[in-house]
Structure 1
Amino acid sequence: MTSTPPRLILATRNQGKVSELRAILSDAGLPYELVGADAYPDVPDVKETGVTFAENALLKAHALALATGLPAIADDSGLCVDVLGGAPGIFSARWAGRHGDDKANLDLLLAQLADIADGHRAAHFACAAALALPDGTEAVVEGRLTGTLRHAPAGSGGFGYDPILQPLGETRTCAEMTAAEKNAISHRGQAFRALIPAIRDLLG
């Protein structure tokens, strides 16, 4: 009789992100059932009151671990635009005022950068990935994907600001890549691959 693998909860209800993280973590051969926070609908969403990506990732991971009694991993990520002093940054998901409205966020950012020449459109995606255990043990790491911003969206893959960030050395945006291509270089891929040793060490 096959035993059920232990659960590791991904502190997000974004199905695109759940799929992406499953792919990244499954490639590492971790012996866990990876489930999104939507498997626990009674657990309230956590207010992202931190002032850094790392603080917000830890807030979400600790809250879910405490509420479920299971280990939880979370990330906080965003787009940091050089000419905007690092904004939208931690406000990336709600840049246009409503959390998770990708199109509105994209449209507003492109409007704000409309007069900015190509040579000044440098930006990077940043991601902090955190692991929290119910006993308060934690680990957090970060990843970054540097590139430039297009003047108009291109591609239908990914989510968030993927259609406008063109990674350095690439001719395509993140949204024009396959999921595997994007995961290989993405800020989130880097962060979660860097977190895998901590997952192994802390969870066995």
Structure 2
Amino acid sequence: MSQPYIVFGYGSLIFKPPPHTISQVNGFLKGYVRRFAQSSNDHRGTPESLGRVVTLVSAEDWAEFSAADPFPHEDIVWGVAYTIDPAYAAEVRDYLDYREKNGYTVHHTDVYGFENGVETIVAPQAVVYVGRKDNPAFVGSEDLDVLAARIYTSVGPSGKNKDYLYDLEEAVKKLAPESYDSHIAALVVRSLIFTPYVFLTVPIVG
């Protein structure tokens, strides 16, 4: 019997699950970071104005950027492991390969979770789409203010880049009590300065 086809979603797959899912479980990865380090010319940006989307990067690869990263070791990558109906595994694999075609490579890794308070593997050898530092779409670590401005202003065929950021933050927070993501939260806070009609209420003294 062949291994089940399990896909780990850590970006838009969290709030836009793959088709033909027969079960899913929340969990986290080891040895990776999640960063807005991938340019997007086909979903949240265009070839003329590239957006930014999250990618997984191995912690070892990311270490060379950590001096410029405010959160080099702080976050755990939480997401959702989806088991695909075997009858549609090939179809879904082709769909995801096309959806993630802009600079991602396929890795296999265990997904961890907690059962009765004990850490355990909840999905073995799940497929994850990883942004390698040697692919053309990988942009690495950027200044958070500059990155937030690009995300706020970029738009692509799949919609506004800022909506991707906001939807992802909400989706990650709902996965587990521990699933806060400092990198994503920092970008959301910075994006507020670009939002029209955001006012601070200051008490009048005297």
Length-normalised TM-score, structure 1: 0.26
More strand by share: 2
More helix by share: 1
Length-normalised TM-score, structure 2: 0.26
**Which has the higher Rg, Structure 1 or Structure 2?**
2
